[in-house]
Structure 1
Amino acid sequence: MDDVPVDAADHDALLDHFLDTHHDWHMWRTWSDDLAYATHKSQTLRIERDHSAPARETAWTVAAYETPVSDRTWHLTATGATPLPMLQDLLIDLADGTAWDTAIGQFIDEASVIAATQPATDAGWTHTFAGRWIHWTAPNGEAGIQFDAFAAQRLNDTLPTWVLWAGPTIDQPTWEITASTRTPSNLLANLTETLTQTCSTHQATTHPSPYAQRHTTSLPAPPAFGQPYGQAL
């Protein structure tokens, strides 16, 4: 997958445009010139933008809360080299309500994992198990999705449950997006679809099916090590 350099200024311009066109979001700053924050008027969705983050470090953090004073429900991060189409889709989902569909008490079950990764399945990505991890990998091996069933059981852990990545390998990605256990499956599915479409523009052999065309086949059973998809949220 060819890597397109991403200028940090493009990320800043994208956030500025989002705020200019969505007046229920407001920006505020702290003492640091490197950080900017955008908050939904409900105070339950927040974005942190680190202008100075290197390409492979966290430049975006999105956090969701049940109430303005509750603990964090889910969070997502994106590194400084994350392509603009991925960030555009993320912001669209934050604006249109996709990020609000995780009910308190919901389980991460097989259906949630299938829904989040369906675009990769439709695109014919390789589906493998490696211990506690489930991988969906692009045909050229230079992009993928990782689901950590162990992290899904540890709701307060710092380990990411989901990783979307592109680059030489998952251990040396050019960029990555990580997401916690309760991240809405609809949001993850939209990001997955964009990732597969980005790969298809560089790979003539990859032809992702429209996301609306859902398969109903089940995932193969992962190796047993307790509850594979997590406790109640």
Structure 2
Amino acid sequence: MPYAPADAHVHFALHPDHHPAVVATTSGPTADAARSHLHDLGFRPTSPTTMVLARIDHEEPHYTDQAAKRLRQLGFTIEIDPSLQEDMDTEWEWANYPMPWCTREEVREVSAEAQRIHDDIADGRLTIHLHADDGHTTVAVGSYATGVRRHVHLHGENHLRQVAVRFDEETEAIAEFRRLYSVAVYPGPAPLTELETTVQRVIHGEAAPVTSIGVPAPASPPVAGPGEHEEFLAAFLDDNPQWEKYRTWAGDATIASHENPTVRAEFYHEARHRTHTAWTVAEYDGPIGERVWHAALTTGTPVALIRALLQHLDAPPPVGGVEPYEPLRDAGWHPASHPARTTWRAPDRTMVFEHTPHATEARWTLYGGKDLDRAAWSIRLSSGAGEELLAELAASAVALTPAPTAVAAPRTVPVPGLQPSVPQRHGRAR
């Protein structure tokens, strides 16, 4: 017996800006039931009447065809736009596919598994601890929230990402990943690829214009522009003679050494990507002693925050200052507690201060953006960082954000001209 009467209607069409993504428009008395089925089939809501299917494998027409057949079986009325129908009737082939021995169905199975991994990461079921570039592609190590042998090494990007190895223990998976990729390892997940960025924009509507009166566009975190770090370093060294400048033998970094031999900072001139470390700052327990704490700052970190760290090293306040969270609490930042961490989010949601009490390398993290996976920049401080330093850093972050009552003026966000790569047309299916 059909699940829904025929007056429930679903119209499928290609997305107007992001081919081959598909938009489903629902109407009729049982539209909610149709939307529920579409959600189970991979579509995500973008408005009360529309849903979108956007994948990293460019297989939207294939899965829309499956969804249309399923909904017809359930009694829904289906209408398919002619241009989408043409794509559904056309078979595709990836150019220069790295596994040419695979049949079309096997290629689709590989892509489906890559899509599942992508969705697991995006939905928080799979947490990525570290990533690296192995010289050919991106690799990563992560952990699923549940399951047997749930700690995995991943290999590849987009529609080629696969689980390479599984481990029983998280420590074993991470240790082996560090052994394999050594200095190429970076914390957290890799930056989104161009295709992943496109998919996220389609799903979350970030590419759509914001035109509603009185509705502000999402705020952006403060970010240092190109060359700002270089200019700051030169000015800082000129204004503070207690710091001496040394260039590394390779010429790709500058060391700023304080007259107090227990502190120093290093700036990497070649850091370009937002996940690359541009600065390392450290304090030691003696001229040739052990490191007490260290910080890693990525490109894009606002200069005001770098200045706060260096000024603290230069003239730390007396012991017994304010608690790290006090400036955040006073400025109206929003606290949230999780089993493994505590986060404080700026009122305009452009910055987050995170405390992970059981971590060693990144016990404290300040970053710009909505989440750490796609942060515009980050500052990671190890265990040992003093409360006075953390409070100064927090106060500097507060100074970069508007007051809680401030409301940004509405503006229109232009639609970017994204042109993700697409498969080549191979021929029509008979």
Structure 2 equivalent of residue 169 of structure 1: 371
Match of 2:249 among 31, 35, 47: 31
Instruction: Give the Cα–Cα distance (whole angstroms) in 2 for the partners of residues 201 and 123 of structure 1.
Output: 7
Does residue 196 of the first structure (1) align with residue 398 of the second (2)? yes
Match of 2:356 among 148, 155, 178: 148
Instruction: Give the Cα–Cα distance (whole angstroms) in 1 for the partners of residues 238 and 299 of structure 2.
Output: 22
Structure 2 equivalent of residue 125 of structure 1: 333
**Higher Rg:** 2
**RMSD over aligned Cα, in angstroms?**
2.4
> Residues 27-71 of structure 1: CA distance to partner in whole angstroms, max 9, x if unpaired?
111222211101112211010100111233110100100111111
Structure 2 equivalent of residue 213 of structure 1: none
Instruction: Give the Cα–Cα distance (whole angstroms) in 1 for the partners of residues 340 and 275 of structure 2.
Output: 25
SS in 2 for 1:68: coil
- Verify the 8 A CA contact 2:348 2:402 in the aligned structure 1: no
Structure 1 equivalent of residue 284 of structure 2: 65
Q: What percentage of aligned pairs have identical amino acids? A: 29
1:83 Cα deviation (Å)? 0.9
- Verify the 8 A CA contact 2:332 2:404 in the aligned structure 1: no
- Verify the 8 A CA contact 1:126 1:136 in the aligned structure 2: yes
Q: Which runs of 5+ in 2 are unaligned?
A: 1-218, 409-430
Does residue 178 of the first structure (1) align with residue 397 of the second (2)? no
Structure 1 equivalent of residue 324 of structure 2: 116
> Residues 101-124 of structure 1: CA distance to partner in whole angstroms, max 9, x if unpaired?
5xxxxxxxxx99x70111111112
SS in 2 for 1:39: strand
- Verify the 8 A CA contact 1:144 1:165 in the aligned structure 2: yes
SS in 2 for 1:116: coil
1:16 Cα deviation (Å)? 1.6
- Verify the 8 A CA contact 1:22 1:95 in the aligned structure 2: no
Instruction: Give the Cα–Cα distance (whole angstroms) in 2 for the partners of residues 199 and 3 of structure 1.
Output: 8
Match of 1:94 among 309, 313, 317: 313
Tell me which amino acid in the other structure corresponds to 2:254. Answer: A
Does residue 19 of the first structure (1) align with residue 237 of the second (2)? yes
Instruction: Give the Cα–Cα distance (whole angstroms) in 1 for the partners of residues 238 and 366 of structure 2.
Output: 28
Does residue 53 of the first structure (1) align with residue 255 of the second (2)? no
Mean Cα displacement is larger for which, 7-16 or 186-195? 7-16
Structure 2 equivalent of residue 221 of structure 1: none
- Verify the 8 A CA contact 1:2 1:202 in the aligned structure 2: no
1:94 Cα deviation (Å)? 2.2
Instruction: Give the Cα–Cα distance (whole angstroms) in 2 for the partners of residues 5 and 39 of structure 1.
Output: 26
Tell me which amino acid in the other structure corresponds to 1:68. Answer: P
Instruction: Give the Cα–Cα distance (whole angstroms) in 2 for the partners of residues 205 and 184 of structure 1.
Output: 34
1:4 Cα deviation (Å)? 4.7
Structure 2 equivalent of residue 9 of structure 1: 227
1:171 Cα deviation (Å)? 2.2
Mean Cα displacement is larger for which, 21-30 or 85-94? 85-94
Instruction: Give the Cα–Cα distance (whole angstroms) in 1 for the partners of residues 226 and 303 of structure 2.
Output: 10
SS in 1 for 2:310: helix
Instruction: Give the Cα–Cα distance (whole angstroms) in 2 for the partners of residues 141 and 39 of structure 1.
Output: 35
Tell me which amino acid in the other structure corresponds to 2:291. Answer: R
1:5 Cα deviation (Å)? 4.8
1:201 Cα deviation (Å)? 6.4
Tell me which amino acid in the other structure corresponds to 1:30. Answer: T
Of the two structures, which has the highest relative contact order with CA contacts closer than 8 Å and spacing of 6 or more? 1
1:8 Cα deviation (Å)? 4.3
Query: Structure 1 residues 205, 183: closer, same or farther in 2, change over 3 A?
Result: farther
